[in-house]
Amino acid sequence: MKGYRLWCTDLHPPRFIISRDVKFNESTMLHSSKEVRDVEKEDNINKQVEFKVNSSHKLDTDTSKQPVQEEVQEYVDKLDEAPLAQCNLARDRTRRQIKPPQRYVQADVVSFALSVAEDIELQDPVTYREAITSNESSQWIGVMNEELQSLYKNRTWELVKPLKGQKVIGCKWVFKKKDGSSGVDATRYKARLVAKGFSQRGGIDFNKVFSPVVKHSSIRVLLSIVALFDLEVEQLDVKTAFLHGDLEEQIYMKQPEGFVVEGKEDHACLLKKSLYGLKQSPRQWYKRFDSFMIGHNYSRSNYDSCVYHKKLLDGTYVYLVLYVDDMVIASKSIYEINKLKTLLNNEFEMKNLGAAKKILGTEIHRDRSAGKLYLS
């Protein structure tokens, strides 16, 4: 059986009712801007199954009371002509006008396309070509120049003509846009040149790649000592850590895309310093840092090679824990920490993060008056 479910605003409270006996007042329905359809109801709830002929009869008589609408009138006329017994409400009624849904009209499609395009614009370019053809090409070129300047300053490579048959690995620009913190800073653009380390072959282009990182137990032991003796803890971050490592192997790399030196197109870069992407970079960085620390009279723990310590004259210690480019320094005196910080800053470019708040995803809270240190 066919029926209609109606949202009836006239009733208190407004509710859904189900009825078969329904007449549509299409004049208000078509011209109303509201979503809610005005529906004229004749009977509240008609549970009794009626014959279709009966209902159409009723409709026939009732139309006179309603504001008669053209289409309905037509229908009524048709009904008059046809023999009542053959009349079928579903079959014989006039077809309604078909209109495309509001959300698919032209203007909306355009605005949708625009918003998608905006999203695409906001994404970081994947290749060099994309970067220089994008709207922000000037910014990207700027940061690429900056990166190259720092690489030259660092004396990362020498331009040489590679021997015939020499394997030359590729390189790639990686672009990243970083949103500034809540409108205070402008969006920062970052470009980094990475070597395609996957084309390196073991035994030729690299030998050893293992780089130690600190054990979690060691961090906890250190923090326990910190709480025990009420030490100061500071955190540091090394900028572009991997670029500090010295390379032992001879590695030739293609010249960076878009920055090929004129007249030296057949030359390649003989790498002197490690670059992001090379397999041995983490190890070389660790070795460099290790030799620096040993050079400044710090001793490496025999039990965890990422824990360094130095005994001071007054019997207290300075501790340093290294996790790739994150480090935590702990000591009784803030003076000693600052001394070490300056040393590190002179050698490597550092970012000072102040008192240790978070290491390896673990938050550190201190309550020094109660002598407690929470780790969560």
Partner 1 sequence: MIWNAKCEACEYSISSSFQMLVALSPQSTKEEEQMSHIPYASAVGSIMYAMVCTRLDISQAISMVSRYMGNPGKMHWQAVKWILRYLRGPKDIGLVFHKNHNTCSNIVGYVDSDYTGDLDKRISQTRYVFMLSESAISWKATLQSTIALSTTEGEYMAAAETVKEAIWLRSLVDNLGLKQDIIVVYYDSQSAIHLSKNQMYHERTKHIDVRYHFLREIISQGNIIVRRIGTSDNAADMFTKTILVSKFQHCLDIIGVCII
Residues in touch with partner 1 (CB under 8 A): 216-218, 220-230, 301-304, 307, 309, 311, 317, 319, 360-363, 365, 370-376
Q: What share of the chain is helix, strand, coil (3-state, %, to 5)?
A: 35, 25, 40
Token code pair at residue 242: 């991997």
Q: Residue holding tokens 């500071």?
A: 234
Minimum CB–partner distance for residue 360 and partner 1 (Å): 7
Nearer to partner 1, 3 or 371 (CB): 371
Closer CB to partner 1, 236 or 330, in the complex: 330
Contact at 8 Å (CB) between 145 and 131? no
The least CB distance from residue 313 to partner 1, in Å, is 14
Nearer residue to partner 1 within complex by CB, 92 or 363: 363
Minimum CB distance to partner 1, residue 6 (Å) = 42
The burial class, CB within 10 Å (0-12 / 13-18 / 19+), for 72 is: buried
DSSP letters, 225-250, are: HHHHHT-EEEEEEETTGGGGPBP-S-
Looking at the Cβ atoms of 227 and 278, the one nearer to partner 1 is 227
- φ, ψ dihedrals at 353, nearest 5°: -105, 5
Whole-number Å distance between alpha carbons of 178 and 180:
6
Distance CA 88, CA 97 (A): 20
Report, in Å, the least distance between residue 190 CB and partner 1. 27
Residue 292 or 317 having the CB closest to partner 1: 317
Least CB distance to partner 1 at residue 229 (A): 7
Q: How far is the CB of 297 from partner 1 (least distance, A)?
A: 15
Nearer to partner 1, 113 or 375 (CB): 375
